[in-house]
Amino acid sequence: MPPRIIDSLATTEALAEVFSDRQVLQAMLDFESALARAAAREGVIPQGAAEAIACAAAAENFDSAELSSKAQRAGTPAIPLVKSLTDRVRAADPIAARFVHWGATSQDVTDTALILLLKGARKILSTDHDRLLIALRKLASEHEHTVMLGRTLLQPAPPVTFGLKAAGWFAALKRGWSRIDTRFAEAEAIQFGGASGTLASLGDRGDAVGHALAAELSLKYPDAPWHAHRDSLAALLAACSVQCGSLGKMARDLALLMQGEVAEAAEPGGDGRGGSSTMPHKRNPIACSLALASAQRVPGLLASFLSSMVDEHERGVGGWHAEWPIITSIIQALDLAVASMAEAAEDLTVDAVRMRANIDATRGTIFAERVMMLLGATLGRDVAHKLLEEAARRSLTENRRFVEVLADLPEVTRVIEPGTLRTLDTPEDYLGMAAIFQKRLLER
C-alpha cells in the first residue's frame, strides 16, 4: 500500500504495508489464535475452543478505526481487540468464548505482534540490502582504476580511486547489515508471561504452553518474559541507526559529487525524478536527500527509545506505550535509505573524464606530499614542508603546473632528477595501497 502523504518521504511502500493497520491487527490476532492452538495442544483449553478462536481471528472481521479509538482509552490496543474477538467468538460458540486470551496479558499480545511485524520487515530489508551490496560491488570492480581527487575537509588531497570509495561504502554497509541481521535474530522471541511475568494462571503448564506458542509462530521461546527488559529491541534499533549513518555518509558523498562544480557522478534521473518545480535544468540528488533525511531523523528516535527503557518493576508506565511509533519509524526510515541508495547505485553515472579533469585543475599541487617525502630525507621534513607550501602558492597564483615551479627551485633539483620531477603529478603512480585496500574491503 502507498504510504500516507505525510509519510511519503519517510518510508517505502513495502514497509508501509508491513506496518499498515491491517497487518498490525492481523499480527495481534495471529498471537491470539496461536495461543489458543498452543493451549489446546497442551490440554489447557478444549480443541473446539481453539478452532473457534482461530476461525474468528481474521483482520477483515474487525474495525481497525474503532479499535484505534478505543485503544487511547484503554492504554493499549490489546484490550479492545480481545473484547471484540471474544464477542465475535461468543456469537458462534459461547463456550469457546470463555477461553479467548487464556493466560495472557495485554503486553504479551502487543509485544509478540510487534516481533511478528519486525520479522516481516527483516525480509524486505534483507532484499534491499542485497540489491545495494551487489550494485556497490559492481561499481567498485568497474572503477578499480578510475582515479579521482581525494578530499579531506572538503579540500583537494592526493588521489584515490572511485573503486576504493565504493568499496568503502560496500564494506561499511555489509558490516552494518551483519549487525542488524544478528540483532533481528536475537529479538525474534515471543512475549508470554501473563499478569506479572510468571504465567502463574496456567499452573505447571505455563512453560509447555509457551514453548508450543513459540513453535506456532515460528519464533524463539525466551528464558523468561521480557516485559520490562527492552535491551534486545534497543540493540536492534541501535544497529539500524548506525546503518542509517553509514547510508547517510554514502549519500552525502554522492550528493557532493553531483554538485555542478564537481560533476563527477550523478543519480539516475527522468520519469519525474530529480527535477525542480521552477528550474527545468535541475537534476537533484533525490535518493541522497531521502537517505540523508533518514540519517538525520533516526538518531533522535533512537534517543527516545533509549529514554523509554527505564521501565518500572514488572511492567512500566508509559515506556512501552511509547515504543511502537518509534520502532516503526526507525525501521521504515532505514528501508527508505537502503532502497534509495540501491536505486542510486544501480544506475549511477560515473564521469571518469571529469574526475581526471578535476585532478588536473589542481595543477598538481595535491602531490606536494609526494614531493615532501622525497625531499624530507635530505632537507628535513619541516624545511621541505615550508618550501613546498610556497611552491604550491606560486603554482596557483601564477597558473603553472606545480612541477614546473619545482623545476625552478635549486633545493628541489639538487635532490630530484628532472625526469622523475616531470612525472611526479601522475595520479596512477601515487595510489599507494588503494588496490589492496579495495580488494580486502570487497573480500571481507
Domains of the chain: 1-104+192-225 (1.10.275.10), 119-190+227-359 (1.20.200.10), 365-424 (1.10.40.30)
Residue 363 near residue 399, CB atoms below 8 Å:
yes
Listed range (180-189, 349-358, 411-420) with the worst mean pLDDT: 411-420
Pick the closest to residue 301 from 244, 228, 227 (CA basis). 244
Nearest to 62 by CA among 39, 86, 94: 86
80 touches 74 (CB < 8 A) = yes
Classify 77 as helix, strand or coil.
coil
DSSP designation for 374: H
What's the confidence (pLDDT) of residue 284?
86
Residue 334 Rama label (left phi>0; alpha psi -120 to 50; beta)? alpha
Tens digit of each residue's pLDDT (9 = 90 or more) over 72-123: 899 999 999 999 999 999 999 999 999 999 999 999 999 999 999 999 999 9
Distances (CA, A) of 100 to 51, 60, 74, 123: 11, 18, 18, 31
CA dihedral sign, ordered 307, 309, 314, 316: positive
For the chain, what percent of residues have pLDDT higher than 70?
97
Of the chain, the end-to-end C-alpha distance in Å amounts to 37
Q: What positions carry a catalytic annotation?
A: 276, 315
DSSP code at position 300: H
Amino acid sitting at position 59 = A
Residue 271 has pLDDT above 60, yes or no: yes
Angle at alpha carbon of residue 111, lines to 108 and 114, rounded to 5° = 140
Q: C-alpha grid cell for residue 140?
A: 567498485
With cut-offs at 50, 70 and 90, classify the pLDDT of residue 276: very low
Answer positive or negative: Cα dihedral of 289, 302, 332, 129: positive
| pTM, to two decimals | 0.94
219: nearest Cα among 120, 315, 332? 120
Q: What is the CA radius of gyration of the chain?
A: 30
Listed in sequence order, the residues at least 6 apart from 106 whose beta carbon sits closer than 8 Å to its beta carbon are 76, 78, 79, 82
Quote the cell numbers at residue 223: 528464558
